[in-house]
């Protein structure tokens, strides 16, 4: 992505974006879209069946990112209101019905500070962050996806979150070195546990993290009655989560949970531009 703020920069940024696209994807096709200042990244989980019914399963806030890649997701969004959820949910359902969508999918939006929202993209699959939705509506989304594929109809009911859930992506990255990937062998692995604590992972003590794939090695999900309780639970779970042998994003998440702007819900996709990680002592 390249930002153009003045007309004189347009041609240079256009050509740079094309070169980067060609180098990364062997396709230099690009498009222009409106720049949304200080946006939040809010997405809606939808489900559709072969009978034309589409429903939404509430939203996730994915605004804590680095290099446009998500680090933390939560449901519901601390920015959300009932009226905004209704409008965005209706837009997400409309998008699903327009393409006669079947299965689980995610309609992603950028939302400005005034509550105006803009369609960004649709991921036609279940996503990494689906556990936060599962935890707040108490449904197994993988199971629901299989049922839809088998021809079962959905109820068509929209869901609103009854609890609060936060997911921290535990990546094999060095947060003190600009989140540089950190492959290698895991010497010891102790997972966080307890009521309302969930860990989705494939690694173990002795596992060797290869350098060829995405650096995410685990997802730590906590749920509670309120956002404040959920953050407190996540702090405890992060303190208990031990991975030795490689660098991980755990220290970043530990500091994030204590950050006053995150705790107050006052953040957007530019949060990481100003967040300063304190040196580990």
pLDDT at 281: 52
Quote the distance between the C-alpha of residue 111 and its chain's center.
15
Model-level pTM?
0.90
* Residue 8 backbone dihedrals phi, psi, to 5 degrees: -60, -20
What domains are there in the chain, each with its CATH number? 1-32 (no CATH), 39-276 (3.30.470.20)
Contact 238, 253 (CB under 8 A): yes
- Reported as type and span, the H/E element at residue 62 is strand 54-66
Rounded to an integer, what distance in angstroms lies between the CA atom of residue 213 and that of residue 153? Answer: 36
- Would you name the residues annotated as active-site residues? 125
Instruction: Tokens for 11, please give them.
Output: 């041609």
Ordered per-residue pLDDT tens for the chain, 281 residues: 899 999 999 999 999 999 999 999 999 999 998 899 899 999 999 999 999 999 999 999 999 999 889 999 999 999 999 999 999 999 999 999 999 999 999 999 999 999 999 999 999 999 999 999 999 999 999 999 999 999 999 999 999 999 999 999 999 999 999 999 999 999 999 999 999 999 999 999 999 999 999 999 999 999 999 999 999 999 999 999 999 999 999 999 999 999 999 999 999 999 999 998 988 65
* C-alpha to C-alpha distance for 76 and 78, rounded to whole angstroms: 6
Query: 168 - beta bridge partners?
Result: 72, 220
150 in the Ramachandran plot: left (φ > 0), alpha (ψ -120 to 50) or beta? alpha
Strands of 124-240, DSSP E: 164-171, 173-174, 180-181, 184-185, 188-190, 197-201, 208-209, 216-224
What is the reported pLDDT for 150? 97
């Amino acid at each position: 992505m390249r930002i153009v703020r003045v007309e004189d920069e347009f041609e240079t940024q256009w050509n740079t974006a094309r070169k980067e696209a060609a180098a990364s994807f062997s396709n230099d096709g690009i498009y222009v879209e409106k720049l949304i200042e200080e946006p939040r990244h809010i997405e809606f989980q939808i489900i559709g069946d072969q009978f034309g019914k589409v429903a939404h399963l509430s939203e996730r806030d994915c605004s804590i990112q680095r290099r446009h890649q998500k680090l933390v997701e939560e449901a519901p969004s601390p920015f959300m209101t009932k009226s905004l959820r209704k409008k965005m949910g209706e837009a997400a359902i409309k998008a699903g019905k327009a393409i006669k969508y079947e299965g689980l999918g995610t309609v992603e939006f950028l939302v400005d500070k005034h509550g105006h929202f803009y369609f960004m993209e649709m991921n036609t699959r279940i996503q990494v962050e689906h556990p936060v939705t599962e935890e707040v509506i108490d449904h197994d989304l993988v199971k629901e996806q299989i049922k839809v594929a088998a021809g079962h109809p959905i109820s068509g009911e929209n869901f609103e979150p009854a609890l609060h859930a936060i997911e921290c992506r535990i990546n094999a990255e060095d947060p003190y070195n600009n989140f540089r990937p950190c492959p290698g062998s895991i010497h010891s692995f102790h997972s966080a546990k307890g009521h309302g604590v969930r860990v989705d992972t494939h690694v173990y003590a002795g596992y060797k993290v290869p350098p060829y794939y995405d650096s995410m090695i685990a997802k730590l999900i906590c749920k509670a009655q309120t956002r404040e309780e959920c953050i407190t639970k996540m702090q405890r779970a992060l303190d208990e989560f031990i991975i030795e042998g490689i660098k991980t994003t755990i220290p970043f998440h530990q500091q994030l949970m204590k950050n006053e702007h995150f705790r107050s819900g006052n953040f957007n996709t530019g949060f990481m531009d100003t967040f300063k990680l304190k040196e580990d002592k």
